[in-house]
Amino acid sequence: MTSMTPGSVVFKNVRKNFGSFTAIHDLSLTIEPGTLVTLLGPSGCGKTTTLRMLAGLEHPTSGRIFIGGKDVTMLPAHERDVSMVFQSYALFPHMNALENVAYGLESSGFSKREAKERAEDGLEQVGLANMGHRLPAELSGGQQQRVAVARALVLEPQVLLLDEPLSNLDARLRRKVRTEIRELQQRLGFTAVYVTHDQDEALAVSDRIVVMKDGEIAQAGTPQCLYDEPVSAFIADFMGEANVVACNVIEHVGDQAVIDVGGLEHRLPSRQSKVGQAKLAVRPGSVVLDPDANSGLGGEILTSAYLGDHVEYEVETPVGNFFVIDHTVERSLSPKTAVSLGFRNRGLALIEG
């Protein structure tokens, strides 16, 4: 398990129907070899179906799927060079940890002895070297999860699939394990497709994130790109919180747009915006509150909550309510205070209507 040949993944116009229900509409997606790509989205968005089609557990209604350049659309699961970590781990309860890890190796035709050696290696990689004789029922949740990862990794697949691998772990362990998975992926250099509904997890582990909604890709890009340049209110709100308000694009200056938000003028990257009515997404931390000035966008504090390292406000303005995170904790504003709002340079984006 020292080196792997990472494979690329390509979905070409893939559609999947379950009866009359269309789970995936028309998915086209390319995943570069050696990258970790997250499929992110609310439940029912089609991310797990996408992963299962890649594994061969579902077959697309139409379209093609390629792994490492090879058309695998009609191949059954056991003939694809991928392996998968299940949400429930799906460890075989009648086999001990070592037998679980060796199972896939024996299926792929390794001799019993070699399978055992490689399985022991695999368990060592995930830090369970002396746990091989234990049944799944005798392992903790975190250990079971690591056995599941080892079982998938020892096959040295072109692509590793992870279906919400952390959802059965507690929060502290989750952070640790996700770091471990990322570290393992970078060290061994395999391609990984990771399904989750937790955007923190996605931001932390991914090279690229594909956000899905209602069976379609809502936006794909690097974590930073998705966070800083959301294309829609859905993405802006799903990738960290955002205030979405109406604004008016006055003019374009170079690649900058000049906008007017309730009387406040601001400059930001124009992206594909047109002059006229538009929507603006503002991160809570990018709003500046000034209790003294009367210029710009005026508002009134509705609620305020002191949280140690920052204060959270809800501010009422003519263009709508803003959720604001203010790090100047030494100055806590009480409700009913009149303020004027300004924007920082980062954390704002013009989005599609």
Of 32, 62, 74, 332, the residue at the interface with another protein (CB under 8 A) is 74
Does 67 interact with another protein (rule: CB under 8 A)? Answer: no
Q: Which is nearer to another protein, 48 or 219 (CB)?
A: 48
- Please choose, from the candidates 181, 268, 182, the residue with its C-alpha nearest in 3D space to the C-alpha of residue 230: 268
Of 5, 22, 61, 87, the residue at the interface with another protein (CB under 8 A) is 87
**Measured between alpha carbons, how far is 157 from 1 in angstroms, rounded to an integer?**
10
Q: Which is nearer to another protein, 137 or 307 (CB)?
A: 137
Q: Which is nearer to another protein, 54 or 333 (CB)?
A: 54
**Which residues are within 8 A (CB) of 153 and not within 5 positions of it... i.e. 6 or more apart?**
1, 83, 122, 125, 126, 160, 184, 188, 190
**Which residues are within 8 A (CB) of 103 and not within 5 positions of it... i.e. 6 or more apart?**
92, 95, 151
In angstroms, give the least distance from the CB of 89 to another protein.
5
Helix axes 141-153, 112-125, angle to 10 degrees: 130
The residue range among 88-96, 114-122, 239-247, 266-274 that interacts with another protein, by the rule CB under 8 A, is 88-96
**Measured between alpha carbons, how far is 44 from 41 in angstroms, rounded to an integer?**
8
Of 119, 150, 161, 205, the residue at the interface with another protein (CB under 8 A) is 161
Does 94 interact with another protein (rule: CB under 8 A)? Answer: yes
Does 212 interact with another protein (rule: CB under 8 A)? Answer: no
In order of 61, 258, 279, 289, 319, the CA distances from 20 in angstroms are 12, 47, 35, 51, 42
Contacts with another protein by CB under 8 A: the residue count is: 39
Does 89 interact with another protein (rule: CB under 8 A)? Answer: yes
Of 57, 233, 244, 258, the residue at the interface with another protein (CB under 8 A) is 57
DSSP 289-330: EESS--SSEEEEEEEEEE-SS-EEEEEEETTEEEEEEE--TT
The footprint of another protein (CB under 8 A) covers 55-57, 59, 74-80, 82-84, 86-94, 103-104, 107-108, 135-139, 141, 144, 151-152, 155, 161, 168
